[in-house]
């Protein structure tokens, strides 16, 4: 079991870059099982000036995207491979997305993703995001790797 990944290793596995990289560190990862990652949410995020400027709140779609990026890290670590220019890791579905509390500047999102099943290149995950030990969001995610045309 690998215990952590710093930002330098994350960048080897995710093609995302600023402002769309939404995982800062992996706290623990167990291939084919689960991952726990974190995202430090700061006022410097590019979406805050336009998303409720009087009460900055992280958009729900980006919270789900953070779960998907953690799921991608788990997938690539489980496959024992890194992404390349010939393929892209895509969403195939999102089910049961629920947002329980807002995520605001200064919060630290703890992203927990567990593999439910993997079949013929399609992965299904259960993801949660917690802030200060309280559930902020949850969703089931389906993702797949597709060849770039």
- Pull the structure tokens for residue 43: 């006022």
What SS3 class is residue 34?
strand
d(CA 9, CA 11): 5
Q: Please give the structure tokens belonging to residue 142.
A: 């389906």
Q: Is 51 a catalytic residue?
A: yes
Q: How far apart are CA 12 and CA 114, in angstroms?
A: 21
Q: Which position among 8, 16, 51, 54 bears the catalytic label? A: 51
Check residue 5 and report its DSSP letter.
B
Residues 143 and 90: beta-carbon distance below 8 Å: yes
Question: Residues 26, 75, 113, CA angle at the centre, nearest 5°?
Answer: 55
C-beta of residue 59 within 8 angstroms of C-beta of residue 104: no
Quote the CA–CA distance of 135 and 15 in Å, as a whole number: 28
Could you list the active site residues? 51
């Amino acid at each position: 079991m690998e215990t952590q990944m710093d930002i330098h290793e994350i960048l080897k596995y995710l093609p995302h870059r600023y402002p769309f990289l939404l995982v800062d560190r992996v706290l623990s990862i167990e291939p084919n099982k689960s991952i726990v990652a974190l995202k430090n949410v700061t006022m410097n995020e590019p979406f805050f000036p336009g998303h409720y400027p009087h009460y900055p709140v992280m958009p729900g779609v980006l919270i789900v995207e953070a779960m998907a990026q953690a799921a991608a890290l788990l997938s690539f670590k489980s496959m024992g491979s890194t992404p390349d220019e010939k393929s892209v890791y895509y969403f195939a579905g999102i089910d049961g997305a629920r947002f329980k509390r807002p995520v605001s500047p200064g919060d630290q999102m703890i992203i927990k993703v567990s593999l439910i099943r993997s079949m013929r290149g399609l992965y299904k995950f259960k993801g949660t995001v917690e802030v200060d030990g309280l559930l902020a969001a949850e969703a089931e995610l389906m993702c797949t790797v597709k060849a770039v045309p």
